[in-house]
């Protein structure tokens, strides 16, 4: 354990001559400059900060258990019961103490420091790639995050960056961790604030890079000269004597050539100049050709000529590449490895980052860029870069941050309108300022730039657009407007926030990502999207630019929505078109338009409005293809349970994801048909990562249509049982209808196969593409499924226990689902999760923690008095009815069990036989009472009697409510009571939940 004496002896900046040997022998367990983080045994460093003075918190630190204090000013000492160590510079002291505490880790690393107003982050990513290509293991400390490459070549993100350059304690801790993980080089963005505040301590760099200097941070530095002096400290105080100084030339801001000033400040023998001029630069570029997809050039690396291509756009990115190459030369990396590494970089987060709809080919629609440009010089650079690359119009969305240098606001407004045809002025991070007040300081600069203030309609008029600027205080609306209304050939620049995934309003930091909002803007329904999706015909046009959501209900429709008029068996949405328009619909999709179309509303005529609804959902899904992974679940029984289990697994995997919305999209309720599935899929947006959709059907061809709409990446047929036989004929008809999922999926999609079900295996044999099998039975395991269960134990009402196997991985788990059929459902969900790339431990954890919803699917409730009810009234077919009976038969001990059953509907000519099978099973399982209702109650009753059940214990009722009378009497007479079980089950159309509701009402009603 380190002692106070060790720290004092190693740091001349500390004064401790007055301390006794005993005091110097004090053992230190931790160091901190935050009194709130003090623990018993801490050394507290009282830093004199700009906003507060750490010395004010010394009493609190001592109270918390600190054993020694480092501070400025002996006159502050007073009476103190712990040793005091004095220093003349607490900022320098905290940096040097941190380095000492961690064993001077920086000395074991090759360090590259980057400073400058713009280009630091881009250059750091380029250098990282170059070092990796050269065989090194780099770490990066910068504006986006703190990360490192381990010994296996895997990149670990330690954390998103709260500061470009961390505080001294965090910095030395990062160095220590990187050394321990085998990092060889660290690339560090060094801010002017960090240099002025001496966060680096005595840390020195092998290579220091100066990118440029332009107007920024003058609220802190007050003048460009002071700003430059802070940057200069990197070269004068923190560059090793043997180190290299890399300076980017050809960037002049204002009246002073700051790059030349920096060149004069460093020794000539350590200087590497980078720029476009071969005359005085050792690293330069010639024959530069730029496009929106990148640039070609010929690099000159100290005489070595290399043909080069980069996917980074912009003249300033040419300079960033030259800067990174200069660093490579400074580190002694061969030119071939330098270029190889630099050419590997395809994108840098938030630095002229191209944003496209994942499912749209490059070149279609407008070209969208997100950039961190938040200074006048950076905005000028990026707009000047994009202007000659734009074939039609250049559109700029930007704002200025609150509580920051106000003088740059009108400058940026002037720059934007100088280069952009359309400028949309909006909010950035307002912080404590009012967004409107910030915009009011930008607008005068825009007005002086020669462009008029225009309406959105005038700026984006398809026939005769005007050039000018407009204002949207809400940044989301501003981005959506620009991206949705821009046309093919337009370039949209969204500037100011770049990689940031937050917006600060007052003191609240909320999620906001320009890149995500740009994609959502491209997704917004507009005239082009509606026509492309539906292939409809415009009956009446409108000047409305963008629309909100798709709606089929005029009662819940919101202003700006698109109303799709559906025709049903008992309704016709076309009768409600006028009501929808009055409620605010901005567009209507229908098979026929009304006699009189409302002015200002877009009317699109389609051949089939139900088909159009599906086309709209399918179109949306294709636009997001590649970023949204879709799993589709179908089967005769258990598909809703599997869907919920998959959702639980997906949710577990998505816990670390921050995207401003729930990243999981799933079917809600029973929205699983040709109306429900499209409505489930239509809300998809950029923040969604995974979707799980349930597919139901009543007739052949419906699953095929749903598969075409959803285009699933993963498809699961859970099982094939007798169900919907009225429309499908027999079991083979059911199989064929369910099999439409496998046959309709892409060949690169994954089919999840129930190896316990011979019909599903047969469907899989006929399908192409990758497959993942699952099995709970010994017979199914013979087919070597990847996912399987063994050692299954029924715990009754406590759930099921089994060993889950996924490949060679296995774990013993207990789930709160009941019955062996639910083990199979768990395996199906696990297979879907594995197909989605989710780890086995995550899958197991989700299954263990999944709590079944009380939604009439084997939902257990205990009534007053102690009767336990299993409400499984959601739906029924022969397989699910048998599963429910088997499950409840395993519950309890020395208790009475009652089955209250309704008909299983849509079983066609086999109905009587299949109902009789249920009656036989009730008798076989030893149920004490059988209560029946429905057209086939007699068949069930006869079979139960033949199976040996006493006739007196079988009753038939006209309705579920009448059943409640009988159960109520049983309770009153003691024929049922505490610890006994009642199973309620039947097809959805039988409304068997009415039995439970009526019974509960009678028991709980006041006497």
Q: What is the DSSP string of 766-794?
A: H--SEEEEEESSHHHHTT--SEEEEEEEE
Q: Is the pLDDT of residue 250 over 80?
A: no
Counted domains in the chain: 6
Residues 819 and 875 in one domain: no
Give domain status of residue 353, yes or no.
no
Residues 265 and 139 in one domain: yes
Q: Is 880 annotated as a binding residue?
A: no
Give domain status of residue 754, yes or no.
yes
Residue matched to tokens 């431990």: 841
State mean pLDDT over 674-695: 97
Q: Is 807 annotated as a binding residue?
A: no
Q: Is 641 annotated as a binding residue?
A: yes
Bridging pattern class, strands 145-149 and 155-160: antiparallel
Q: Is the pLDDT of residue 384 over 70?
A: yes
CA 321/CA 107 separation, integer angstroms: 28
CA 72/CA 58 separation, integer angstroms: 12
Residues 801 and 942 in one domain: no
CA 186/CA 110 separation, integer angstroms: 6
pLDDT given for residue 589 in this prediction: 98
Q: Is 637 annotated as a binding residue?
A: yes
Residues 480 and 387 in one domain: yes
Question: How distant, in Å, are the alpha carbons of 535, 561, 609 from that of 548?
Answer: 20, 5, 19
Give domain status of residue 360, yes or no.
no
Does residue 40 contact residue 29 with C-beta atoms inside 8 Å?
yes
- pLDDT, tens digit, 9 for 90 and up, residues 417-434: 999 999 999 999 999 999
Last-in-domain residue among 849, 871, 896: 849
CA 313/CA 322 separation, integer angstroms: 14
Residues 818 and 911 in one domain: no
CA 277/CA 286 separation, integer angstroms: 9
CB neighbourhood size of 211 (10 A)? 25
State mean pLDDT over 188-208: 92
- pLDDT, tens digit, 9 for 90 and up, residues 734-751: 999 999 999 999 999 999
Q: Is the pLDDT of residue 251 over 70?
A: no
Does residue 131 contact residue 139 with C-beta atoms inside 8 Å?
no
Closest CA to 852 of 629, 638, 631: 638
Give domain status of residue 357, yes or no.
no
Give domain status of residue 361, yes or no.
no
**220: which 2 tokens?**
């802190």
**955: which 2 tokens?**
């009753």
pLDDT given for residue 856 in this prediction: 61
Sequence-ordered list of residues with C-beta below 8 angstroms from that of 780, at least 6 positions apart, any chain: 754, 755, 756, 757, 773, 774, 788
CA 431/CA 412 separation, integer angstroms: 19
State mean pLDDT over 637-659: 94
Question: Order of strands across the sheet with 859-862?
Answer: 859-862, 868-872, 981-985, 897-901, 929-933, 954-957
Q: Is 118 annotated as a binding residue?
A: yes
pLDDT given for residue 753 in this prediction: 98
CA geometry: angle 38, 41, 44, nearest 5 deg: 45
Residues 807 and 880 in one domain: no
Q: Is 197 annotated as a binding residue?
A: yes
Last-in-domain residue among 849, 877, 895: 849
- pLDDT, tens digit, 9 for 90 and up, residues 946-978: 999 999 999 999 999 999 999 999 999 999 999
pLDDT given for residue 314 in this prediction: 86
Q: Is 334 annotated as a binding residue?
A: no
pLDDT given for residue 254 in this prediction: 64
CA 528/CA 916 separation, integer angstroms: 57
Q: What is the CATH number of the domain that holds 169?
A: 3.40.1190.10
CA 995/CA 999 separation, integer angstroms: 6
Residues 621 and 513 in one domain: no
Closest CA to 795 of 866, 880, 893, 718: 893
Q: Is 35 annotated as a binding residue?
A: yes
Last-in-domain residue among 491, 523, 555: 523
Q: Is 700 helix (H, G, I), strand (E, B) or coil?
A: coil
Packing angle, helices 376-386 and 408-419, rounded to 10:
10
**796: which 2 tokens?**
């009754």
Give domain status of residue 359, yes or no.
no
Q: Is the pLDDT of residue 554 over 90?
A: yes
pLDDT given for residue 73 in this prediction: 86
Q: What is the CATH number of the domain that holds 918?
A: 3.90.190.20
Q: Is 527 annotated as a binding residue?
A: no
pLDDT given for residue 150 in this prediction: 85
CB-based burial, 699-708: b 16+ in 10 Å, e otherwise: eeebbbbbbe
pLDDT given for residue 982 in this prediction: 97
State mean pLDDT over 883-912: 95
Q: Is the pLDDT of residue 275 over 90?
A: yes
Q: Is 570 annotated as a binding residue?
A: no
Q: Is 496 annotated as a binding residue?
A: yes
Does residue 129 contact residue 143 with C-beta atoms inside 8 Å?
no
Residue-range definition of the domain harbouring residue 457: 368-523
- pLDDT, tens digit, 9 for 90 and up, residues 4-32: 999 999 999 999 988 999 999 999 999 99
Give domain status of residue 898, yes or no.
yes
* Secondary structure letter of residue 274 according to DSSP: E
pLDDT given for residue 899 in this prediction: 98
CA 428/CA 400 separation, integer angstroms: 5
pLDDT given for residue 1 in this prediction: 86
Distance of CA 283 to the CA centre of its chain: 41
CA geometry: angle 772, 775, 780, nearest 5 deg: 105
Give domain status of residue 281, yes or no.
yes
Residues 566 and 424 in one domain: no
Does residue 703 contact residue 694 with C-beta atoms inside 8 Å?
no
Residues 209 and 272 in one domain: yes
Residues 925 and 790 in one domain: no
- pLDDT, tens digit, 9 for 90 and up, residues 390-402: 999 999 999 999 9
Q: Is 122 annotated as a binding residue?
A: yes
State mean pLDDT over 823-840: 98
Q: Is 639 annotated as a binding residue?
A: yes
CB-based burial, 423-438: b 16+ in 10 Å, e otherwise: bbbbbbbbbebebeeb
Question: Torsion angle, CA of 792/794/799/805, rounded to 10 degrees?
Answer: 0
Residues 92 and 170 in one domain: no
Closest CA to 422 of 380, 378, 456: 456
Bridging pattern class, strands 629-634 and 714-717: parallel
Q: Is 117 annotated as a binding residue?
A: yes
Burial (CB count <10 Å: 0-12, 13-18, 19+), residue 747: exposed
Q: Is 833 annotated as a binding residue?
A: no
State mean pLDDT over 979-1000: 94
**525: which 2 tokens?**
């329904």
Question: How distant, in Å, are the alpha carbons of 61, 650, 689, 833 from that of 653?
Answer: 40, 5, 10, 9
Q: What is the CATH number of the domain that holds 74?
A: 3.40.1390.10
- pLDDT, tens digit, 9 for 90 and up, residues 578-606: 999 999 999 999 999 899 999 999 999 99
| Residue 280 pLDDT grade (very low, low, confident, very high; cuts 50, 70, 90) | confident
Q: Is 781 annotated as a binding residue?
A: no
| Residue 662 pLDDT grade (very low, low, confident, very high; cuts 50, 70, 90) | very high
Residues 586 and 480 in one domain: no
Question: How distant, in Å, are the alpha carbons of 310, 626, 914, 922 from that of 947?
Answer: 79, 56, 15, 8
First to last CA, the chain: 74
pLDDT given for residue 152 in this prediction: 82
CA 893/CA 222 separation, integer angstroms: 82
CA 789/CA 658 separation, integer angstroms: 34
Q: Is 537 helix (H, G, I), strand (E, B) or coil?
A: strand
Question: How distant, in Å, are the alpha carbons of 78, 313, 883, 895, 925 from that of 928?
Answer: 86, 78, 18, 9, 9
CA 814/CA 800 separation, integer angstroms: 6
Q: Is 762 annotated as a binding residue?
A: no
Q: Is 120 annotated as a binding residue?
A: yes
CB neighbourhood size of 569 (10 A)? 5
Closest CA to 127 of 111, 107, 109, 144: 111
- Going 470 to 476 to 477 to 483, the CA torsion angle's sign is positive
Mean pLDDT of all residues belonging to the chain: 94
Distance of CA 289 to the CA centre of its chain: 36
Q: Is 635 annotated as a binding residue?
A: yes
Radius of gyration over every alpha carbon of the chain, rounded to an integer in angstroms:
35
CA geometry: angle 822, 824, 828, nearest 5 deg: 115
């Amino acid at each position: 354990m380190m002692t106070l004496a060790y720290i004092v002896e190693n740091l001349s900046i500390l004064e401790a001559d007055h301390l006794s040997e005993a005091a110097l022998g004090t053992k230190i367990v931790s160091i901190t400059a935050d009194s709130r983080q003090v623990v018993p045994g801490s050394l507290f460093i009282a830093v004199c900060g700009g906003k507060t003075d750490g010395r004010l918190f010394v009493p609190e630190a001592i109270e918390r258990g600190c054993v020694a204090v480092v501070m400025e000013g002996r006159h502050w000492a007073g009476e103190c019961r712990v040793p005091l160590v004095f220093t003349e510079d607490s900022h320098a002291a905290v940096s040097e103490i941190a380095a000492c505490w961690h064993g001077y880790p920086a000395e074991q690393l090759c360090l590259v420091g980057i400073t400058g107003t713009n280009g630091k982050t881009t250059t750091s990513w380029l250098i990282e790639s170059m070092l990796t290509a050269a065989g090194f293991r780099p770490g990066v400390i910068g504006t986006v995050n703190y990360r490192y490459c381990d010994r296996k070549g895997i990149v670990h993100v330690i954390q998103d960056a709260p500061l470009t350059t961390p505080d001294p304690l965090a910095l030395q801790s990062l160095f220590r961790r990187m050394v321990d993980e085998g990092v060889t080089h660290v690339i560090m963005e060094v801010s002017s604030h960090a240099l002025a505040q001496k966060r680096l301590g005595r840390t020195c760099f092998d290579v220091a890079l100066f990118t440029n200097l332009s107007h920024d941070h003058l609220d802190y530095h007050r003048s460009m000269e002071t700003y430059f002096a802070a940057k200069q400290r990197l070269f004068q105080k923190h560059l090793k004597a043997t180190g290299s100084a890399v300076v980017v030339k050809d960037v002049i801001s204002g009246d002073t050539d700051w790059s030349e000033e920096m060149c004069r400040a460093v020794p000539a023998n350590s200087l590497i100049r980078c720029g476009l001029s071969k005359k005085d630069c050792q690293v330069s570029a010639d024959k530069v050709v730029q496009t929106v997809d990148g640039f070609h050039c010929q690099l000159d690396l100290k005489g070595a000529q290399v043909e080069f291509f980069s996917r980074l756009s912009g003249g300033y990115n040419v300079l960033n590449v030259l800067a990174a190459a200069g660093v490579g030369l400074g580190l002694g990396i061969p030119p071939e490895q330098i270029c190889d590494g630099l050419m590997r970089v395809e994108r840098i987060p938030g630095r002229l980052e191209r944003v496209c709809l994942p499912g749209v080919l490059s070149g279609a629609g407008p070209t969208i860029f997100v950039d961190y440009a938040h200074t006048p010089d950076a905005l000028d650079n990026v707009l000047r870069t994009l202007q000659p690359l734009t074939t039609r119009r250049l559109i700029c969305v930007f704002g200025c941050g609150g509580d920051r240098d106000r003088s740059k606001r009108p400058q940026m407004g002037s720059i934007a309108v100088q280069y952009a045809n359309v400028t949309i002025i909006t909010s950035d991070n307002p912080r404590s300022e009012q967004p409107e007040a910030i915009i009011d300081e930008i607008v005068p600069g825009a007005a002086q730039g020669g462009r008029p203030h225009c309406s959105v309609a005038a700026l984006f008029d398809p026939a005769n657009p005007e050039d000018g600027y407009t204002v949207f205080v809400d940044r989301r609306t501003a981005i959506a407007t620009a991206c949705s209304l821009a046309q093919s050939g337009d370039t949209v620049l969204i500037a100011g926030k770049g990689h940031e995934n937050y917006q600060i309003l007052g003191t609240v930091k909320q999620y906001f990502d320009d890149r995500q909002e740009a994609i959502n803007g491209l997704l917004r329904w507009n005239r082009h999207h509606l026509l492309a999706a539906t292939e409809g015909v415009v009956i009446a046009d409108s000047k409305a630019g963008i629309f909100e959501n798709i709606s089929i209900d005029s009662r819940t429709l919101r202003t700006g929505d698109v109303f799709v008029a559906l025709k049903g068996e008992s309704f016709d949405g076309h009768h409600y078109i006028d009501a929808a328009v009055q409620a605010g619909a901005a567009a209507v999709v229908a098979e026929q338009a009304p006699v009189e179309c409302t002015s200002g509303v877009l009317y699109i005529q389609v051949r089939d409005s139900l088909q159009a609804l599906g086309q709209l959902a399918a179109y949306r899904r294709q636009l997001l293809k590649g970023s949204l992974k879709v799993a589709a679940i179908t089967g005769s029984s258990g598909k809703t349970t599997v869907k919920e289990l998959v959702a639980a697994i997906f949710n577990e995997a998505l816990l670390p994801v921050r995207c401003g919305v729930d990243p999981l999209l799933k079917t809600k309720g029973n929205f699983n048909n040709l109306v429900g599935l499209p409505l489930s899929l239509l809300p998809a947006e950029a923040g969604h990562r995974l979707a799980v959709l349930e597919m139901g059907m009543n007739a052949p061809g419906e699953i095929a249509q749903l598969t075409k709409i959803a285009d699933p990446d993963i498809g699961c047929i859970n099982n094939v049982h007798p169900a919907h036989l009225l429309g499908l004929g027999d079991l083979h008809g059911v199989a064929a209808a369910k099999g439409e999922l496998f046959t309709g999926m892409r060949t690169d999609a994954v089919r999840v196969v129930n190896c316990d079900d011979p019909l599903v295996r047969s469907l899989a044999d006929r399908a192409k593409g990758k497959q993942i099998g699952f099995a709970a039975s010994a017979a199914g395991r013979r087919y070597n499924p990847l996912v399987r269960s063994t050692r299954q134990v029924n715990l009754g009402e406590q759930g099921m226990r089994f060993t889950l196997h996924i490949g060679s991985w296995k774990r013993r788990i207990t789930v709160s689902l009941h019955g062996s059929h639910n083990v199979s459902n768990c395996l199906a969900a696990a297979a879907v999760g594995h197909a989605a790339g989710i780890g086995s431990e995550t899958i197991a954890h989700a299954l263990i923690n999944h709590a079944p919803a009380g939604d009439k699917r084997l939902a257990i409730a205990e009534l007053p008095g102690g009767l336990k009810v299993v409400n499984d009234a959601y739906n029924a077919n022969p397989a699910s009815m048998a599963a429910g009976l088997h499950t409840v038969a395993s519950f309890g001990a020395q208790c009475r069990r009652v089955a209250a059953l309704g008909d299983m509907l849509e079983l066609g000519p086999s109905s009587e036989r299949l109902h009789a099978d249920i009656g036989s099973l009730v008798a076989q399982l030893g149920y004490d009472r059988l209560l029946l209702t429905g057209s086939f109650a007699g068949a069930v009753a006869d079979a139960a009697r033949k199976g040996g059940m006493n006739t007196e214990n079988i009753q038939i009722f006209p309705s579920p409510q009448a059943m409640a009378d009988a159960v109520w009497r049983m309770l009153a007479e003691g024929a049922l009571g505490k610890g006994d079980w009642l199973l309620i089950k039947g097809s959805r159309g039988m409304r068997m939940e009415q039995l439970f509701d009526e019974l509960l009402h009678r028991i709980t009603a006041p006497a």
